[in-house]
């Protein structure tokens, strides 16, 4: 058995699904092993251009996505530079047009409010056309519903949906979530994961390990 995410397409006949780590080049976008993106509208290899928006190098913010995540078509990550600062008397982004207004280029980033990186945990499922806003952290095992707009942090193993996204329910009991948070199966070796596939798929916690 040979398992590897060092290729673009996980399935030989499927050109709509890619291993993201193999197609992203921006050093400020960090993708974990085996995380997939599916796009039946655009080329999924264009994820960096089409789905990571307003991600300008001048701001130094990062998109961090963990291992074994599943990202559906059209999901977008909206970064800080999409914001217009609310600290000013005007929402007009004067610093961006520094040439027009004879302003200092070094102050460009004051045109928006900087809320920080977007951090996605491991084994997260992000639904069709969901939007994740800057500064949000999504915990391991969470599920983001179709077309949800996530404006605040999502706890591990929690399902959220809506605009703005709100908690629908937790996926498991507190005891099971605590167990999974400690287990971190995604950090196991490929061989150990393969040996435990049946238990992972069936939810057979007693036979994991």
| CATH code where residue 166 lies | 2.160.10.10
**In this structure, is residue 142 part of a structural domain?**
yes
Q: Which of 23, 28, 70, 84 is catalytic?
A: 84
Residue that is written with structure tokens 């701001």 in the block: 59
**In this structure, is residue 94 part of a structural domain?**
no
Are 171 and 159 contacting, i.e. CB atoms less than 8 angstroms apart? yes
- Max CA separation in the chain (angstroms): 67
CA angle 88, 93, 95 (to 5 degrees): 95
Structurally, how many domains does the chain consist of?
A: 1
Is 84 annotated as catalytic?
A: yes
95-107 average pLDDT score? 93
| Four-residue CA torsion sign, 80, 120, 124, 39 | positive
User: Which of 55-59, 151-155, 169-173 comes out lowest in average pLDDT?
Assistant: 55-59
**In this structure, is residue 154 part of a structural domain?**
yes
Q: Cis omega (within 30 of 0) on the bond before 100?
A: no
Give tens-digit pLDDT for 55-94. 999 999 999 999 999 999 999 999 999 999 999 999 999 9
CA 102 to chain centre: 38
Q: What is the pLDDT of residue 1?
A: 55
**In this structure, is residue 209 part of a structural domain?**
no
Q: What is the pLDDT of residue 51?
A: 98
**In this structure, is residue 89 part of a structural domain?**
no
- Domain residues for the domain of 157 are 17-82+114-201
Q: What is the pLDDT of residue 108?
A: 93
Q: What is the mean pLDDT of the chain?
A: 95
**In this structure, is residue 50 part of a structural domain?**
yes
The H or E element that residue 191 is part of is: helix 190-195
**In this structure, is residue 207 part of a structural domain?**
no
pTM of the model: 0.94
**In this structure, is residue 188 part of a structural domain?**
yes
């Amino acid at each position: 058995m040979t398992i590897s995410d060092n290729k673009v397409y996980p399935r030989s006949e499927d050109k709509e699904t890619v291993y993201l780590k193999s197609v992203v080049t921006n050093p400020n976008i960090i993708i974990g092993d085996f995380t997939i993106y599916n796009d039946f509208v655009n080329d999924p290899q264009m994820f960096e251009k089409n789905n990571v928006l307003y991600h300008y190098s001048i701001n130094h913010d990062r998109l961090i996505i963990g291992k074994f995540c599943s990202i559906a078509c059209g999901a977008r990550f909206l970064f800080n530079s999409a914001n217009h600062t609310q600290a000013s008397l005007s929402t007009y982004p004067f610093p961006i047009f520094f040439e027009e207004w004879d302003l200092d280029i070094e102050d460009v980033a004051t045109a928006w409010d900087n809320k920080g990186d977007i951090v996605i945990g491991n084994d997260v499922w992000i639904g069709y056309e969901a939007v994740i806003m800057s500064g949000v952290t999504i915990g391991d095992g969470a599920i983001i519903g179709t077309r949800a707009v996530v404006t605040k942090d999502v706890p591990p193993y929690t399902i959220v949906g809506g605009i703005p996204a709100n908690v629908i329910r937790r996926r498991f009991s507190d005891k099971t979530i605590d167990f999974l948070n400690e287990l971190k199966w995604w950090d196991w070796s490929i061989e150990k994961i393969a040996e435990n596939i049946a238990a992972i798929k069936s939810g057979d916690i007693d036979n994991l390990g």
